[in-house]
Amino acid sequence: MMNDWAGLPATYGDVLRRAMDSLFRTFENFSEGTFIVDAEARVVWINKRYAARFGFSDPQQAIGRDCEAVIPNSLMREVVKTGKPILLDILETDREPLVVTRLPLKDDAGNTVGAVGFALFDELKALTPLFSHYSRVQQELIATRQSLAQARRAKYTFGSFVGTSAASLEVKRQARRAAQLESPVLLLGETGTGKELLAHAIHGGSARANQPLVTVNVAAIPDTLLEVEFFGAAPGAYTGADRKGRVGKFELANGGTLFLDEIGDMPLPLQGKLLRVLQDKEFEPLGSNRIVRADVRIIAATSADLPALVAAGRFRADLFYRLNVLTIQAPPLRERVSDIEALAYAMLEDLSTQARGGNHFELQDDALRLLCSYGWPGNVRELRNTLERAVMLSDSERIDARALAPLLGMAHGAGVGVGISTGAGTASTIAASTTPAGAAEPASWSDAMAAFEKRFLSDALRANGGRVIDAAAQIGMGRATLYKKIAAYGIEA
């Protein structure tokens, strides 16, 4: 640095002083703000405009204060500490950001005695394109963070868990208690009993509610990808399509809750790793030499019989005991029949706002009796799917047993409803023939659909006295199509 001045005449000290002086003046005049601190980063001087911008009507009020107390986010302390300039930087303020330059001030011995900062924003219009780019990127980042936070917030609260049967009240009581505690939660119960809903509610009711809730559906991810999904990977650490590296769900959930759905499907080696993370509260992403500390609360759920899996050696006993602290058993729907009416109406309400705006669907008494006598192997999810279909297929806002009966069992996927006859039989005999216990060999999906369609079309024809034209109009199907299907299915009008 000093070499650059070496060729100057003996008066160079004067030139240097003038250069510094005029530089300072130029910056001072043309910058948005100028600001000097001492070696302790306390304000020595600040110009009026700059002081005013940060809420000091009189610059004197700022003198002697710590720089951060005058200019939040100021990095002048770093400059006096390191003695190194920050030539160009962006300072966030509560108004628009400023482009700033920070230079250390040295004494003759080269010791840092303070620093001077200039805010250049207004006069450096050349920076505008850079700025608009920066602000756009910044805006996008903020929006992305917000939507991510939104997505990770709990979807359901305890209020979303409909049901006042003794069994449901007990489940809600246990879940509320679990929300107050920090230990792992294990949610057991058949598919569709509301385990995921409860996991959301527990997180949402816990002290971690404002932190992320991150879900991993163990059953939905191939075994080979699970480890990376959980713990992440350093860039280039594995030969997946994605070589950029990946942040694992454990790290994403830090401070919050990790919901491990279908944990019974977790491969044994990964169970061991999970157990270690739960014990040590830290882990190493694949191929990195980085230790990540994770403060994560675990909520695990499974529809599998975990003790049986433990007995069979397919689930680690030590992991099971670790998770089996606050265990909540979500009862199957058939054991809380008294909830069905409230559930059905809550769902119909939901479906009517979603699908056909304004329609209010009503269940006829026989429909309700039918719902209450059915076995619901798919539990609340199946109830919802069944009602969804009923709403879609129904011409009227009144849903009766006749409209519902053909749909029972279809929404569970196993096709157990096939083969029942809609016209005949009381609700209870229909239900008996559709519970899984009484189910015949499950048909394929296409067989089930064909059987349903045949029955549906026969019913429509019968209801219209065998008149194809009227039946076609009623069900909203083209006449030619209906004729073709009548022939294909061999339906006798």
Between residues 260 and 457, which has the closer beta carbon with respect to Mg ion? 260
Q: Which helix (H) or strand (E) holds 369?
A: helix 365-373
User: What are the residues whose beta carbons fall under 8 Å from the beta carbon of 68, sequence distance 6 or more?
Assistant: 41, 74, 77
Give the residue among 387, 302, 399 at the shortest CA–CA distance from 351: 387
Contact stretch for Mg ion (CB under 5 A) within 95-103, 196-204, 348-356, 436-444? 196-204
Closest approach of Cβ 382 to ligand ADP, in Å?
9
- Ranges of beta strands (E only) in 273-347 are 282-283, 292-293, 297-302, 326-329
Task: For residue 106, list its beta bridge partners.
Answer: 112
Task: For residue 112, list its beta bridge partners.
Answer: 106
Read out DSSP for 213-226?
EEEEEGGGS-HHHH
Closest approach of Cβ 174 to ligand ADP, in Å?
14
Task: For residue 399, list its beta bridge partners.
Answer: 363
Whether 189 and 264 have beta carbons less than 8 Å apart is answered as no
> Of Mg ion, ligand ADP, none, which one sits near residue 189, judging by CB under 5 to 8 A according to partner kind?
ligand ADP
Closest approach of Cβ 415 to ligand ADP, in Å?
20
CB atoms < 10 A from the CB of 156, how many? 17
> Of Mg ion, ligand ADP, none, which one sits near residue 38, judging by CB under 5 to 8 A according to partner kind?
none
Between residues 175 and 233, which has the closer beta carbon with respect to ligand ADP? 175
Between residues 174 and 193, which has the closer beta carbon with respect to ligand ADP? 193
Give the CA distances from residue 85 to residues 89, 291, 298, in Å, rounded to whole numbers and listed in that order.
10, 33, 46
Q: CB nearest ligand ADP: which residue?
A: 194
Chain-centre distance of CA 314, in angstroms?
30
> Of ligand ADP, Mg ion, none, which one sits near residue 192, judging by CB under 5 to 8 A according to partner kind?
ligand ADP
> Of ligand ADP, Mg ion, none, which one sits near residue 233, judging by CB under 5 to 8 A according to partner kind?
none
Between residues 81 and 334, which has the closer beta carbon with respect to ligand ADP? 334
Closest approach of Cβ 195 to ligand ADP, in Å?
3
Between residues 98 and 214, which has the closer beta carbon with respect to ligand ADP? 214
Closest approach of Cβ 408 to ligand ADP, in Å?
17
Helices 365-373 and 427-434 pack at an angle, to 10 degrees, of 30
The reply to whether 190 sits near Mg ion by the rule CB under 5 A is no
Question: In the block, which residue shows the tokens 């619901």?
Answer: 376
Between residues 155 and 273, which has the closer beta carbon with respect to ligand ADP? 155
The dihedral region occupied by 186, where left means phi > 0, alpha psi between -120 and 50, and beta the remainder, is beta
Rg of the Cα atoms in the chain: 35
> Of ligand ADP, Mg ion, none, which one sits near residue 162, judging by CB under 5 to 8 A according to partner kind?
ligand ADP
Closest approach of Cβ 160 to ligand ADP, in Å?
6
Between residues 172 and 297, which has the closer beta carbon with respect to ligand ADP? 172
> Of ligand ADP, Mg ion, none, which one sits near residue 256, judging by CB under 5 to 8 A according to partner kind?
none
Between residues 14 and 341, which has the closer beta carbon with respect to ligand ADP? 341
Whether 261 and 218 have beta carbons less than 8 Å apart is answered as yes
> Of ligand ADP, Mg ion, none, which one sits near residue 375, judging by CB under 5 to 8 A according to partner kind?
none
Closest approach of Cβ 301 to ligand ADP, in Å?
6
Chain-centre distance of CA 124, in angstroms?
42
How far is residue 187's CA from residue 199's CA, in Å, rounded to a whole number?
8
State which of residues 32, 190, 196, 227 lies at the interface with Mg ion (CB under 5 A).
196
Total residues in contact with Mg ion, by rule CB under 5 A: 1
Q: CB nearest Mg ion: which residue?
A: 196
Between residues 42 and 381, which has the closer beta carbon with respect to ligand ADP? 381
Closest approach of Cβ 378 to Mg ion, in Å?
11
Provide the binding-site residues for ligand ADP, judged by CB under 6 A.
160-163, 189, 191-197, 343, 380-381, 384
Closest approach of Cβ 162 to ligand ADP, in Å?
4
Give the CA distances from residue 170 to residues 175, 196, 203, 228, 342, in Å, rounded to whole numbers and listed in that order.
9, 17, 18, 37, 17
Between residues 189 and 205, which has the closer beta carbon with respect to ligand ADP? 189
Closest approach of Cβ 483 to ligand ADP, in Å?
39
Give the residue among 298, 306, 207, 220 at the shortest CA–CA distance from 259: 298
Where do contacts with Mg ion occur on this chain (CB under 5 A)?
196
